Structure 1
């Protein structure tokens, strides 16, 4: 494997390596999940890095870019659930009542607050638009996800709206606001460390991936066929 390949695709290589590590050495990942506060702190740090690196005028401009926002929201809450419903019916194991609800729960939700901005940054995409869409889609999740699940599987889901709004403010909006406030004063002084600011969110995502697979290690090791069906539906 050449050095150029690793330099360009190191994130994907490490991500794939972390999956078996999480399955067979889950201890540290379980500790991270059990503590409860570690992941929110790292999410806040990631959003702070993102806010610090974003151009304020571009952020305001993207907030009104409905030609981009509407298709993304439609794909999240219409296209993805419809496609997932069809795939789940096709791939679900016979007699398994949980496969369809699990797929629909995954498909009916917005992208995670933690990964959306970092992955967009890594791909060189429009970070400001990604932030706007992420905040809007996660806000709409409170209303649309229960509706989709009720229509698809007859499940009734309720969210603690106040807790979700408070959580979004504390770990997403507040860190981004702090980053934006610090940007005019510190941006020019951080040129030497900007590469590290770009890599840091990717490292945090890798931590989340490891912790996620570690927390589900027991069930994933036991359900090999089910895991393959689930991945195929994804």
Structure 2
């Protein structure tokens, strides 16, 4: 009955789960030891997700994703060219309306690499080109370790520079290692996983819910959500939504104009429109030492939540298309 009611009013049940997760994090955020448990749960969920991807994907599909240079080039151009140009425009536009550190934060989020876990999870939910998305998101994060500090030093020279090699270790331990383990065991468990696609589907959606809960909990515990006045909050929310909408529209239009398949378009849109909070917050503590880091990362935290909700809805719409 509940499923029929939701379908009648075109309400996405997964979107309701996301909203419920946010409310849970606001009312019962993970604090102290519970916060560590939540972070560990996210790490384990991400590791399981990429282990399943590794066991499910053939080596030829992975190499095809790596060799898809047109797709990879478009994603990188969106991440490190289109977004920074938008960020500069927003930085100068918002400078007269919001505190300077928040304006810096709006530009900073545009200089970050793409997310890995959620980009690939949403591509999988939407039935897109998962191998290409995996390669795009991973390469984006590896390049971001170097490119983001360079762009910050170039566009915001007063902020200082530097980066943490921990980002490379996180990618290796949380993503590449489980994926390679899945590839190694694919001969024995790959067929079983392909016959039980529900397992991967639960891992996709469950990991997103864990990321949302952990992110909102961290924001509540740190008090960052109370650092903005209502007008500042509305301005940042509108600008973040506008930037995301522009990038999604441009990447979608370019994908179709350049003749990419729907599966490739999905990977391009999801990998090219996201920004990584997992990489962005640790980098910010080093790149903006001496600044109000809490205010600088606020736009990133807001953008992160917006992109999860928007992309969850978009992924479900893509997934409803007829099977090829």
**What range is the shorter-chain TM-score in?**
0.7 to 0.9
Bigger shift: 12-21 or 140-149?
12-21
- Contact 1:108/1:148 (8 A) holds in 2: yes
- Is 1:153 equivalent to 2:156 in the alignment? yes
Whole-Å Cα distance in 2 between the matches of residues 229 and 31 of structure 1?
33
The answer for the alignment partner of 2:307 in structure 1 is: none
Change (3 A) 1:211 1:70: same
- Structure 2-normalised TM-score? 0.65
For residues 64-86 of structure 1, what are the alpha-carbon distances to aligned partners after superposition, in whole Å with 9 as ceiling and x for unaligned?
11111101101000101111221
Whole-Å Cα distance in 2 between the matches of residues 7 and 186 of structure 1?
37
Report the Cα offset of residue 134 of structure 1: 1.0
- Is 1:56 equivalent to 2:62 in the alignment? no
Whole-Å Cα distance in 1 between the matches of residues 144 and 194 of structure 2?
38
For residues 34-55 of structure 1, what are the alpha-carbon distances to aligned partners after superposition, in whole Å with 9 as ceiling and x for unaligned?
7754432222122112222223
Q: What stretches of structure 1 move > 6 A for 4+ residues in a row?
A: 5-8
The answer for the alignment partner of 2:141 in structure 1 is: 138
Whole-Å Cα distance in 1 between the matches of residues 13 and 31 of structure 2?
22
Report the Cα offset of residue 166 of structure 1: 2.4
- Is 1:99 equivalent to 2:105 in the alignment? no
**Match among 60, 65, 70 for residue 68 of structure 2:** 65
The answer for the alignment partner of 1:122 in structure 2 is: 125
Q: Which has the higher contact order (CA 8 A, sep 6+)?
A: 1
Bigger shift: 219-228 or 130-139?
219-228
Whole-Å Cα distance in 2 between the matches of residues 220 and 233 of structure 1?
17
Whole-Å Cα distance in 1 between the matches of residues 9 and 211 of structure 2?
21
**Match among 214, 220, 228 for residue 234 of structure 2:** 228
- Is 1:31 equivalent to 2:34 in the alignment? yes
- Structure 1-normalised TM-score? 0.87
Change (3 A) 1:12 1:4: same
